[in-house]
A and B are shown apart, each in its own frame.
Chain A
Amino acid sequence: MEGVSVREAYGKALLELGMENHDVVVLDADLSRSTMTAFFAREFPERFFECGIAEQNMIGIAAGMAASGKIPFASTFAVFIPGRCFDQVRMSIAQPGLNVKLVTTHGGLSVGEDGTSHQSIEDLSLICSLPGFNVIVPADAIETTEAVKAAAATLGPFYIRLCRPKLPLVYGEDYQFKLGKAVTMKQGGDATIIAIGLMVRAALEAARELEREGIYCRVLNMSTLKPIDEAAIVQAAAETGAIVTAEEHLQHGGLGSLVAQVVAQNKPVPMEFIAIKDTYAKSGKPSELLERYGLTEKDIERGVKSALKRKR
């Protein structure tokens, strides 16, 4: 995939935060060169804490630092936070609502060849289940930078999930991220595609293809999964009458589930879910995996058409 690295954007954003605010501290679990927290570590060694391969302990240290006024950013792969340390995230961060920022990389299937053990496809479900957590999945490098800054500036626990590959930019440099607000990437009245992460780009491409057939889709980037933008979802349901969600995650408990709850309660309309079905994936190139497990623009197009068939 051509594009700009979201991980590098994170690393650089941390550097900038480190210069602006001396309370920003960074922790990593032996993956600083992959998560790009190494940039911060080089510049601010006295505020960087290598925790080794011990994620549970890293969460506790971050919580203790936050309770003493620091703004800790703790990073590793998305498959390890919250999966490897769920109870620590629950009791040491979520319950007390501590000001810890968990930024994970290598989320979803697009981690690729490392295979099942490294493909984080349940993390959003787990983290969104925790009361009070803010959860963000940026769509490109520019949104990543903005989301990281917003997390630093907003009191409370955050989870930001990044992916491994570079992503094509979907935003210009003037983009301003607003926590809890969906971004309308494209207007349309026939159906709405709600996407997160690398699926935003796929949603835009699907919408462009569908337009050739006279189907006009609205595309929403729901980068803040929690608190989710209920108003934008209800409006989309009311105005377009069909919704397709697209995410690099299991169908259960992620974006699709969250949107479906809002739709079911407020404005029931046909929905389709572009997500990984109830299964684990295998090793492969990111593009091969996304194709095999139904996460391409073609899958989104099919989803839109299927939802439209059921639209009244």
Chain B
Amino acid sequence: MAMKSLPEMGGSKTTSATSAEAEVFSLSASVAEMEAMAKKLRRHIVTMVGKAGSGHPGGSLSAVEIVTALYFKLLHHKPLDPQWPDRDRFILSKGHAAPLLYAVLAECGYFPVKELLTLRQMDSRLQGHTDRTITPGVEMSSGSLGQGLSFALGAALAGRIDGQGYRVYVLLGDGECNEGQVWEAAMATSHYNVDSLTAVVDNNGQQIDGWNCDVMGLDPFAGKWQAFGWKVIEVDGHSIPRLIEAFKEAQKVKGQPTVIIAHTVKGKGVSFMENNPDFHGTAPNNMELELALKELE
């Protein structure tokens, strides 16, 4: 069992390096290793949000497998050279899932894992919502929903002008798709036949005020994307092998963008957070944190 190899992939080295020196992150992790990593990321999420006393555990926990599959199996990236021009881009549009992004970036070696405990504190590099100006590996300042797909499209078009081969992945929330800008961007991505962009919707079914269908119905959700000219792949968002297959299928789609609708459970992995909108934006107290960590052993 090569579990111990995971931290070594990026290590906790944070010294800066030039593009030439910095190595491309190894994508050799096995499914078992990634599943163990997913559990580790969940522990980080509940711990850091619990310590911070505020934050968004629900929508971070639901997207753990998506982000794990991307960072450990799909993305060409260099943790020691976050601005490597040829890197694949991961854009977190649902910026409230910042704890998840920070956890995976730390585990990849963008910054020390122990820094995760500074989340939301004064002078921390780990802001409540993502800030591209201070956190290594963060592509976009987000937190105001609906803007990430447009930003991702810009990144993809820039790469296309220069004939760069990088791919762009953007993670949206399902509730986020209430925003009109998402559909402006969906229209434009398909208008420009951008096949280097893959959108993933963390379809956990809930938003702050409750279930999507009660707050603002999205159905027919897949049909909407199809009508906007997208290839749609629906997948179990907690199955790493299924997610990897979907991402690889998306890479083969030519002439149109692909959206992966990942069916997930909000708060996944912690029984009392699952499908509980109260944990959209509420931190666990000490007792709840202890319980959560016990479940995630």
Q: Which of A61, A72, A92 has the most CB of B within 10 A?
A: A61
Residues of B within 8 A of A (CB): 85, 89, 91, 131-133, 139-144, 146-159, 161, 180-181, 184-185, 187-188, 191-192
Contact call A64/B161, Cβ cutoff below 8 A: no
Residue picked from A51, A66, A68, most chain B C-beta under 10 Å: A68
A49 pairs with B187, CB closer than 8 A: no
Identity of the chain B residue whose Cβ is nearest the Cβ of A46 in the assembled complex = B161
Q: Distance in Å from the Cβ of B148 to the closest Cβ of chain A?
A: 8
The secondary-structure label for the interface of chain B is helix
Chain A, residues 76-106, CB within 8 Å of chain B (1/0): the string is 0000000000011011100111000000000
CA distance A142 to B141 in the complex (A): 36
| Closest Cβ–Cβ distance, residue A97 to chain B (whole Å) | 7
Complex-state Cα separation, A63 to B148, whole angstroms: 10
Contact B154 A60 (CB under 8 A): yes
Would you call B147 and A54 a contact (CB within 8 A)? no
A227 at the interface (CB under 8 A from B): no
A3 within 8 A of B: no
Query: Does A154 make an interface contact (CB < 8 A)?
Result: no
Closest Cβ–Cβ distance, residue B197 to chain A (whole Å): 10
* CB neighbours of A95 from chain B (8 A): 131, 133, 141
In the complex, which residues of chain A have a beta carbon less than 8 angstroms from the beta carbon of B85? 68-69
Distance A143 CA – B153 CA, assembled complex (angstroms)? 33
**Min CB gap B145→A, angstroms:** 10
A36 touches B (CB below 8 Å): no
Q: Which of A46, A64, A72 contacts B152 (CB 8 A)?
A: A64
Q: Is the CB of B188 within 8 A of A87?
A: no
Q: Could you say which of A51, A57, A72, A92 has the most chain B C-beta atoms within 10 Å of its C-beta?
A: A57
Known: A51-B188, A57-B181, A61-B150. A96 touches B141 (CB 8 A): yes
Q: Which residue of B lies closest to A25 (CB)?
A: B161
Contact residues in B for A66 (Cβ distance below 8 Å): 154
A30-50 to B contact mask, C-beta < 8 Å, 1/0: 000000000000000011010
